Amino acid sequence: MDLDYNQIMSIGVYGSAIGLILIGLYAVLIKKHLTKIVIGLSIIDAGIHLLFIAIGYIKGGTAPIFSPAGEKIVANGGVMVDPVPQALVLTAIVIGFAVTAVALSLVIRLYRHHQTARIDQIKSLKW
Amino acid sequence: MMFEAIVIIILAVILLAAAVYAVMQKDLLYAVIATGVISLILSVFFFIMQAPDVALTEAAIGIALTTIVFIITIRNTSRREDEVPMDHEPDRNENDN
Amino acid sequence: MVVSPVHFIAVPLLAAFLIPLLAKVSKELVRIVPGLVIGYLSVVSVILMTQVVNTGQPIIEVIGGWSPPFGINLVFSAFTGFLVSLMTFMAFLIWIYSYRFKKIDDAPAQKYFILFMMLVTGSTGIVLTGDIFNLFVFMEITAIAAYSLTAFYRDRDGAEAAFKYLLIGSFASALMLLAIVLLYSQVGTLNMAEIAQRIHTVPQGMKITIFTLFVVGLGIEAEMFPLNGWAPDAYSQSPGPVGVAFAALVVKAGVYSLVRVVFTMFDIHGAYEFLIIMGAITMVIAEISALKQTNLKRMLAYSSIGQMGFVLIAFGIGTNAAVFGALFLMFNHAVIKGLLFMSGSYLVYNTPSKEIKDMAGIGKKLPMVSFFFALGALAIVGLPPFSGFWSKLYILMAAADASFYYLMGTILIVSIIEIVYYFRVMGRLYFGKPQNDVVLQKPTLGGIFAMGVLATVIIVIGIHPDFVTGFIQSAADTLLDKAGYINNVLQLTNL
Amino acid sequence: MKKLLVLLLLAVVGYSLITAMMGVKFGENRLGDPQDEKTVSAYYLNNTTQKLSVSNVITAIVVNYRGLDTLGEVSVLFLASLGLGSILYRKHKEGEEEVAILKPSSQLLQAGSKLIFPAILMLGAYVFIHGHLTPGGGFQGGAIIATGFLLMMMAYQDYRVSHSVLVWVESLAGITFAGIGMWGLLLGNTFLENFLPIGTLNNLFSGGIIPIIYIAVGFKVAAELTGVLDTLLNIKDKH
Amino acid sequence: MNSLLLVILILLAGAVLSFLANRIMPILSGVMSFLSIGAAAVIFFVQVSAADSMAIPISGFSLHWGINAYSWLFGAMVLGLSVFVALYAIAFMKGKDRLGYFFFNFNLTIMAMMGIVFSTDWVSLFIFWEIMTWSSFLIIIYAGISEGRVGTKYMIFSAIGGYAMFMAILVSNSLLGSFQIADLVSGFGTLSLGNQALIGILFMVAFGVKSAVMPLHVWAPRAYADSPMAFTAIFSGLLSKMGIFGMGILMISVFAQGTIGQTFIFSNILAWLGAVTSVIATFYALIQKDAKRLLAYSSIAQLGYIIVGLAIGTPLSIMAALFLAVVHAIFKGTLFMVVGAVERQAGTTNMEELGALIRKMPWTFMAALFSIIALAGVPPLGGFVGKWMLYESLITSGFGANYFLVIMVFLSSTAAFLYSYRFLFGLFLGQEEPEFDHVKEAPAIMVVPMVVLALLLLVIGAFPGLLFEPIANAMAYMGVDVNWNMTVLSNVWGDEVHMEPLWTSILVMFVIGATFLTFKTRRNTRYVTTKDIHTSGEIPEAHENMTFSVNFYQPFERAIEPVMKRKMDTYYNRIGEGLESLFGFARKIYTGNGQTYAIYVIIFLSILILIGETIFNK
C-alpha cells in the first residue's frame, strides 16, 4: 500500500460521489419506472452534495463551530473546514427534498391517470 | 487518521453497492430502503468530514422523510418495477436513438 | 419607506406567507393580494429604473449588512432593471388577465395565485441577484412553482408535461449545482462579480468543464436545442396565463442567466460563436417543428423556442448593436407572445378539440380575440409597422455589420416558415364555417384589458420605437460593461 | 442499444468529472492564509464570533450572511407543500370508497409512539433553539419534529394534524422571518440586518436576530414538512 | 403639416374610420374609404411638390421621405386609379359582410403604396412594402376561397421577396453605411462584383415576386382571381406596379452605376425572363374558362412586357415600359372592374356559361371593349403606343439576340388577340342563355368609374404626349435623358404633341361606330339561345356541345399542350410537400418520451465535454 491518506480519501470520497452521480444518471436514463427515475434523481443529488462537502473539507480541520474551549482556534493555528459548502449543502438538501416530493406527487397523479408508471407508456404529448 | 481512511473506503463500497442495488432492484420498496441506506452512509460521510450540521440534516430529511415519501408513493402506485403495462401498446421508442 | 430592489423578493414572500391567513378572512383576498403585490412591484421597478437611468449608476443592494462578496447582493442595473420592469409589467397584466380566469371555489384555485406570484418572484430574483448560488435557489423557486402550475389542470395531460419538465429541470439544477461546486473549489467565492474577477486564475481545462456544465444547465432553462424537450409540453398543457408567464418571465430569466454567465462571469471567447450556432440550430428545429403542429398552443410553444434561438443568436453576435437587438427582441417576444398566448388560449378554449383545423371561422364568434391573435401573429413574424419588426431589423443590421451573411439568410428563411404557419392559422380563423355557434367562454373584462394593453404596446412601439430604445440601449451598454459591473459590486467591500 | 449508448455517455461524463476532480486536491486548504480575509470563508471564520457572537459559523452563514438563500429555501418548501396540495387535489366524488393508506398498527407501536412523541418534539425544539451554538438548526429541528408527527400519523390511523394550526404556524413563522428582514430594512437600511444586540458568545441569547430567525425557520419547516406528509398520507385511494 | 405625411395620415385615418364606420352603417365604410382616398388624391395632385421631404429619426438611423419626378409618376398612378376603384368598390362591396375589414385593408394597401412611393430610404420602403403585403394578404383571404391556401401561397412568395429585399437592404447598408436609395445608386459602383451580384439578385427577387416574373409568378393567377374584384383592380393594376417601381430604380439607375449593369448576362436574363413570362402567361390565359383567371394571366403577361422594356435599358424601351405600366394599370383596372360588375350582376364569371351580356350591360361592355382594345395593343387606344415603342426599342437596341426577343413578344401579343376576343365573346357576345335573363346593368356608381377610365384610355391613345411628359421627367430624374429625335417619337408624337386631323377623324368614327353598333344590336337582332330549335327537334344531350363558348380554342389548346404540361406550380408544390415531410420528420426528435429528452441532455453534455476544448478554447 503505497497510497497515502489523501489518495485513499480522495478515491473513497470523490469516487463514491462520482459513482453516485453516474449510478443515479444511469437510473434516470435507463429505468422505465417513474419512481425509479425519481430515485435516480435523488441519488444524483446525494452525489453532488457529497462532492460539495468533500471540496470544503480541509485535512485535519475541525467543524466550523466555536466551542467555548477552542474559541480562538483559527488564531491559534488550528484549521477549520470550509463552512460555506456546508451551508450551501444544507440549503441544497432541503431543496432536493422539495423537488423529490413534487416529483413523487406527479408520479402518483400520472399513475392515477394512465394506470401505469412506465415512462415510455406516458407520451400522449409528442412532436 | 488511517482509520478514517479505511472506514471511508469500506463505507464507500457499501454506499456504491447500495446505490447499485437501489437502481437494479425490481422491487421498489427494497430500492427505496436502499436509498435510505445511501442517505445513512452519506450522513456518516458528512460527519467524518466535519460537517455535523449537514449530517444532521441528511439524517432527518434524507433517511426519514425522503424514504417515507417514496414509500407513500409506492403504496399509491405500483410496487414492482416490471409491472405489466396496462395497454399493450408496442414499444416503438425502444431504439429511437 | 424608500423603495429598494429587495422589495422584489421580500414583499412577495411576505405576502405569500400572509395569504394563507388572509384566506381565512376572505377568499377574494387570495387573488387580490398577489395582484396588488405585483402591481406594487411594477411601480417600484419603474421608479428604480428611472432612478438608475437618470443617475447612470446601478443600485447595489446588500443583504444583511454584509457587503459583497461576504453577503448576498442584489444588482439593479439598467440591464437587470430593464428585465425586471418587463417581467413585473407582464406579470401584472397576466394577473389582470387571469383574475377571473379560474373560479375561486375549488381549493387549488386559491393556490394558483400564490404559485403564480412565487413564479414571478423567482424569475425576478434570478435576474436581480448577484450571487450564483442564490441564483440557483431562485431558479428552484421558479421551477417548483412552474411544475405545480404546469400540472394545474387535471383534465389535461398536465402531469405528464410537468413530470418531463421536472425531469429535465432537475438535470438543470443538478448540472448547475455541480458547476457551482467546481467553481467554488476554484475561486472560493460565490459572488458573480468576484468570480468574474478571479476567473482568469482558473486552469483552462477546468474553466471549460465548469462552463460546459453551466451552459448545459442554463441552456435547459433558456430552451436551447436539444435541451428543450420539456418546453412544448409545458407550454401547451399549462393554463393559458401560465403559458404567458413561461414565455414572458421564466424563459427570460433563463436566457438572462445564460447571458450573465457568458458575458460577465466567464471570459471564454468561443462561447459567442457557440451561442450563434446553438441559437441557429434551436431556431431552425423549433420553427420547422412548429410548421406541422396541429395544436395551437404547441405551435406557439415551438415558435417561442424559435424566438429564444433568435435571441441567443443575437447575443452571440456580441456587438453592442446585436445585444441591443437581442434585448429589444426579448421585450418584443414577451409582449407579443404574451398577446398570442392570451388570445390563443381563448381560441383553444372555444375549440373543444383544441386543434387548429377546427378553429375555422372562430373569428366570427370571437372577433376581438381573433383580432388580437392576428395582430400578434403579424407582429411576431416581424412585419412592420409592429414592434417585432424593429428588433428583427436591429439584429439583422448587427449581423450584416459583422458579415454573417449566411446567418442572415438562415434567419430570414426561418422567418418565412414562421410566416407560413402563423398565416395559416390566421387564414383559418377568419374563414370557414364555425363548427358550433356556442361560445364556451367569452373573454373576461380583465382579459380584454390585458390584451388591449399589449396590443397597444405592440402598435405604439411599432410606430415609435424610441419609447423604449433609450432604456434598451443603456441596458445593452450595462451588460457589455463587465469591468463596470465588477467595480460597482465590489467597491462596496472597501466601505 | 440504448443501454450501450447510455453507458458510453456515462463513461464520457464520468471521465470528465474525474479529470475535473483531479484538479481539486482532497483535503487541501483552499481558504488561503487564515488571517487573509480575502477569501469569503476565511472572513466568516475570523469574524463570526466577534461580529455576530455566534459560535456555529454555519448557522451564521445560513441565517445571516446568506440569509436570502434561506428565505428562498423556506419558500421552496412552502411552494412544495402548496404545489403538492394543488397537484394531488381531487374532487371528492359521491360514492367513492375511501381506503386509508396505512394499515392499523400494533398496540406496541401506538403506546411507544405516544411515549416518544413528546421527546422527539423536545429534541427538535432543542436542535433549532440551539442552532447558533451547536450543530443543528431550524431545518434539522424542523425535520425532526416532522418525523415525530410522522410517527404519530403512522401509529394512529386517524391521527390528524389540524390543518388550520399548520397554516397558522407556517404563516406566522414565515411572516416572522420576512418581517424581521423588512424590519432590518427599516432600521438599518439593509434587508435582514442584525438590528438586535448580539450578546456574548455561547450564550443562548446571543447572535441578535439569528436565533429568532432560526426558531421561526424551525417552526416553519416543521409545519411545512408535516403538511407535506399529511397531504401525501391522506391521498384517497381510488381502488 | 408636411403634405407627404398628410397624404399618408389621411389614408391611414380613412382606414381606421372606415373600419369604425362599419359599426354604424356598412355602406359608410366604403364611402369613408372613397372620401379619404379622394382627399389624399386632391392633396397629392395639388399640394405635393418636389420640395417636400421629411425625416423621422429612429434610434440609430432615420427614415426619409421625399418625392421626385419618378415617384410622382407612380404616386399619381396609384392615387389616380384608386379613386375610381374606391368609388366602384362602394357599390361592388355593398351587401357583403365585414366591410370594415375589407375597407380597412383596402385603404391600408393604398397607404402603403403611397408610402413606398414616398420613401427615399430603403428601410421605410421596406416597411411600407411589408404593410402592403400583409394588408393585401388579408384581403385575399377575405374571400375565403380554398381555405386560405391561395393566401398562404401569396404570403410565402411575398415573404421570400420581402426578406430578399430585407437582406439586400441590410447588406448594402453594412457595405455602404447608409440606407438611402440615393447612396446605393451612387455607391453601387464601388462595391465588389460579388456584392453587386448579391444585392442585385436579391433585389431582383424582391421586386420580381410582386411583378410576377416567370419563376416567381405562381401565386399571382389565383390571388388575382380570388380576391374581390374591387381589390383585384388595385392588386393587378397597382400593386404589381410597385414591383415595377422598384425594378425601375434598380435597372435604370442602380445597375447603371455598377460594373454588373454593364455585363451582358444580367439584363438579358431579366429580359428573357420577362419575354418568357409574357409568352407562357399568354398561353395560359388562352385556355382559361374563367374570365377572372384569364385576366389574371393576362396581367402577368403584360408585366412581362414591361420588364422586357426595363431590362433592355435603352431610353426608348424604358419609356415604353413606363408607358405600358401606366396604361396597363388603367386598362387592367377597368377590366377587373368589368369582370367584377359581371360577377356581381350575373353571379358567375365562367365564360362557358355566360354570354350575350352586351344587351343587358351595354355600358360595361363599352368599358370592356375599350380596355380590351388597349390591352391587345390595337390603335387607336393607349396600348398600341406602348407596344409599338417596345418593338421599336427592341429592334433598335442593337443586341442581335433581341430580334428573338421581338419574336417572342410579338408572339405573345398576337396570342393576346385571341384571348382578348375570347374575353369579349365569352362574356358579352355569343348565344344568350336563358338563365341570365334577369341580369341588369350594374349600378351607375360602378359604371361611371369604368367608363371614365375607358375614356381616359381613349384620351391617352389620342394624346400620348400627356403621358410622355411626366415619364420623360421621371426618366430624366433617374439619369436617362430622353432623346426626342428617336424614330417613332419624332414621326407622330414628337415633342410637340398635337392631335392629327386624321387621328381625330378615325377616333370619332370609331366611337360613333362602336356606339352605333351597340345600339343597332340591341334593336334588331334575334337572340338565339342554346335551347333553340336548330337541333331539328332532337333534344340535345348534356355532352353535346351546343355553345361555342365551350372549348373555345380547342385546336389551339392542343397545339400548346406540350408547353402547358409542365407547370411551375407543380414543382413548387412538390418542393413544398418535400420540405413539409422533411420537417415532419425533423420534429420526430421530440418523441414525447421524457427519458429521451433526458438522454438528449446528456448527449449534448458529452458532446460539449468531448469537443468543448476546440469550441471554447480561443
Q: What is the CA radius of gyration of chain B?
A: 18
- How many other CB atoms sit within 10 Å of the CB of residue A50? 29
Answer for the pair E354, E348: CB distance below 8 angstroms, yes or no.
Answer: yes
Return the bridge partners of E53, or none.
Answer: E66
pLDDT digits (tens, 9 = 90+) for C429-477: 877 666 666 666 778 888 889 999 999 999 999 888 888 888 899 899 9
CB atoms within 10 A of CB C24: 12
The three three-digit cell numbers of residue C378, written as one number: 403579424
Cα separation, C229 vs E595, whole angstroms: 10
pLDDT tens digits, residue range C8-23?
888 888 888 888 888 8
What does each C-alpha distance from A78 to A53, A74, A83, D55, E600 come to in angstroms?
19, 5, 15, 16, 48
Nearest-angstrom CA–CA distance, B20 and D98 = 37
Q: Which residues contact C84 (CB under 8 A, 6 or more apart)?
A: C8, C45, C76, C124, C127, C128
Residues from chain E that touch C400, judged by Cβ atoms under 8 A, are 170-171, 173-174
Q: How confident is the model at residue E541 (pLDDT cuts 50, 70, 90)?
A: low
The mean pLDDT value for D141-150 works out to: 89
Instruction: Tell me, yes or no, whether A113 lies in a domain.
Output: yes
What is the average per-residue pLDDT within C259-287?
89
Shortest alpha-carbon distance between residue D85 and chain B (Å):
14
The predicted-structure confidence for A50-71, as pLDDT tens digits, reads as follows 999 888 888 777 778 776 655 5
Kindly indicate the confidence band of residue C281, based on its pLDDT and cuts at 50, 70 and 90.
very high
Work out the pLDDT band at E441, boundaries 50, 70, 90: confident
Mean pLDDT lowest for which of C98-107, C229-238, D95-104, E358-367? Answer: D95-104
Residue E350 Rama label (left phi>0; alpha psi -120 to 50; beta): beta
Is the predicted pLDDT of residue A118 greater than 60, yes or no?
yes
pLDDT in tens, C98-150: 887 655 556 667 788 888 899 999 999 999 998 899 999 999 999 999 998 88
Strand partners, A118: A33
How far apart are alpha carbons E281 and E292 in whole angstroms?
Answer: 14
Beta bridge partners of E121: E180
Q: Tell me what pLDDT residue E489 has.
A: 47
| Residue C176: predicted pLDDT | 92
| Average pLDDT of the segment spanning E488-500 | 44
- What is the C-alpha to C-alpha distance for residues E547 and E530, in angstroms, rounded to an integer? 7
Asked if D159 and D153 touch (Cβ cutoff 8 Å), the reply is yes
Ramachandran assignment for E536, one of left (phi > 0), alpha (psi -120 to 50 degrees), beta (any other) = left
**ipTM, two decimals:** 0.92
| Residues on chain E touching B96 (C-beta within 8 angstroms) | 591, 596
The answer for C57, left when phi > 0, alpha when psi is -120 to 50, beta otherwise, is beta
- Average of per-residue pLDDT across C260-284: 89
E250: which 3 cell numbers? 434598380
Q: Which helix (H) or strand (E) holds E61?
A: strand E61-66
Name residue, grid cell 449534448.
E604
Please list the residues that pair with E432 across neighbouring strands.
E529
Q: Are A82 and A58 in contact (CB under 8 A)?
A: yes
| Pairwise CA distance, residues D74 & E432, whole Å | 88
The number of beta carbons lying within 10 Å of the beta carbon of residue C185 is 25
D20 within a domain of the structure (yes/no):
no
Which candidate from A12, A26, A35 shows the least CB-CB separation from B5? A12
Specify if D23 maps to a domain.
no
Q: Residue D239: pLDDT band by 50, 70, 90 thresholds?
A: very low
Q: What angle do CA E313, E314, E317 make, to 5 degrees?
A: 85
Touching, A vs C (3+ Cβ pairs under 8 A): yes
Output the pLDDT for position E536: 59
Q: Kindly give the pairing relationship between strand C73-76 and strand C59-62.
A: antiparallel
Domain that holds residue D63: 33-89+98-233
Q: How far is CA E367 from the centre of its chain?
A: 19
The verdict on a CB contact (< 8 Å) between D57 and A65 is yes
Report the SS3 class of residue D98.
coil
Task: State how many domains chain D has.
Answer: 1
d(CA E387, CA E390): 5
Task: Calculate Rg over the CA atoms of chain A.
Answer: 20
Q: Please report the pLDDT score of residue C85 as a whole number.
A: 92
Tens-place pLDDT, residues E8-22: 899 999 999 988 888
**Rounded average pLDDT over D195-208:** 76
Mean pLDDT of D154-159: 79
Q: Are E127 and E115 in contact (CB under 8 A)?
A: yes
Which helix (H) or strand (E) segment holds residue D51: the answer is none
Q: State the pLDDT at residue C333.
A: 92
Record the pTM: 0.91
Report the half-sphere exposure of C482 (CA within 13 A, side-chain side): 17
Does residue E82 register a pLDDT over 70?
yes
Per-residue pLDDT for E519 more than 70? Answer: no
Task: Please indicate if any CB of chain E lies within 8 Å of the CB of A32.
Answer: yes
pLDDT value of residue D25: 80
Query: What average pLDDT score do residues C165-180 get?
Result: 92
Work out the angle between the directed axes of helices E99-118 and E122-140 (0-180°, nearest 10).
160
Give the structural domain span for A75.
5-121
* Segment E340-364, tens digit of pLDDT: 888 888 888 887 777 777 778 888 8
Cell (9 digits) for E509: 368614327
**d(Cα E62, Cα E39) in Å, to the nearest integer?**
28
State phi, psi for C62 to the nearest 5 degrees: -95, 150
Q: What are phi and psi of D201, to 5 degrees?
A: -60, 145
Provide the pLDDT confidence category of residue E215 given band limits of 50, 70 and 90.
confident
How far, in Å, CA of C279 to CA of C311, rounded?
7
How do residues E291-325 score in pLDDT, each as one tens digit?
888 888 888 888 888 888 888 877 888 888 888 89
Contact B23 A26 (CB under 8 A): yes
Q: Please report which helix (H) or strand (E) contains residue C195, including its range.
A: helix C192-198
Q: Residue B90 has what pLDDT?
A: 40
**What's the domain count of chain A?**
1
* Range name among B24-38, B59-73, C70-84, D186-200 with the lowest pLDDT average: D186-200
> Please, what's the b/e burial string for C468-477 (b: 16 or more CB within 10 A of its CB; e: otherwise)?
bbebbbbbbb
Residue B94 lies in a domain: no
Are the Cβ atoms of E599 and D9 closer than 8 angstroms?
yes
Amino acid at C310: F
Looking at per-residue confidence, does D141 or A124 come out higher? D141
Omega prior to E562 cis, within 30 of 0: no
Across the interface, do E606 and D5 touch by the CB < 8 Å criterion?
A: no
Chain B residues in contact with A107 (beta carbon < 8 A)? 73, 77
Cell (9 digits) for D35: 488571517
Is D66–C4 a contact, with Cβ atoms under 8 angstroms apart?
no
C303/C426 Cα distance (integer angstroms) = 15
Distance between CA atoms of C453 and D228, rounded to whole angstroms?
40
Provide the residue range defining the domain that includes B33: 25-81
In a domain, D144, yes or no: yes
Task: Tell whether A99 is covered by a domain.
Answer: yes
Is A127 inside any structural domain?
no
C-alpha grid cell for residue E608?
460539449
Number of domains in chain B: 1
The reply to whether D21 touches chain A by the CB within 8 Å rule is yes
Chains in contact with B via at least 3 Cβ–Cβ pairs below 8 Å: A, D, E
Q: What CATH number is associated with residue A112?
A: 1.10.287.3510
Contacts of C360 in chain E (CB under 8 A): 147
Cβ-based contacts under 8 A for chains C and D: 174
Residue with cell 433609450: C470
Does residue D16 lie in a domain region?
Answer: no
If DSSP codes are grouped into helix, strand and coil, which group holds residue E58? strand
A neighbour chains, 3+ CB pairs within 8 Å: B, C, D, E
Residue C93 confidence (pLDDT): 92
Region of poorest pLDDT, from C150-159, D140-149, E444-453: C150-159
* Residue in C164, C356, C365 to test binding to E, most E beta-carbons within 10 Å: C164
Cα distance between residue E50 and residue E61, in whole Å: 23
- Using alpha carbons, list the distances in angstroms from residue E262 to E259, E340, E457: 5, 44, 36
Least CB–CB distance from B57: residue in D139, D229, D232: D139
| Residue pair E465/E492 in contact by the 8 Å Cβ criterion | no
Assigned domain for D1 exists: no
C-alpha distances in angstroms, E268 versus C220, E241, E261?
53, 21, 10
DSSP conformation class of C492: G
10 Å CB burial of residue A112 (0-12, 13-18, 19+) is: middle
Domain boundaries, chain E: 568-616
Specify whether the CB–CB gap between E310 and E251 falls below 8 A: yes
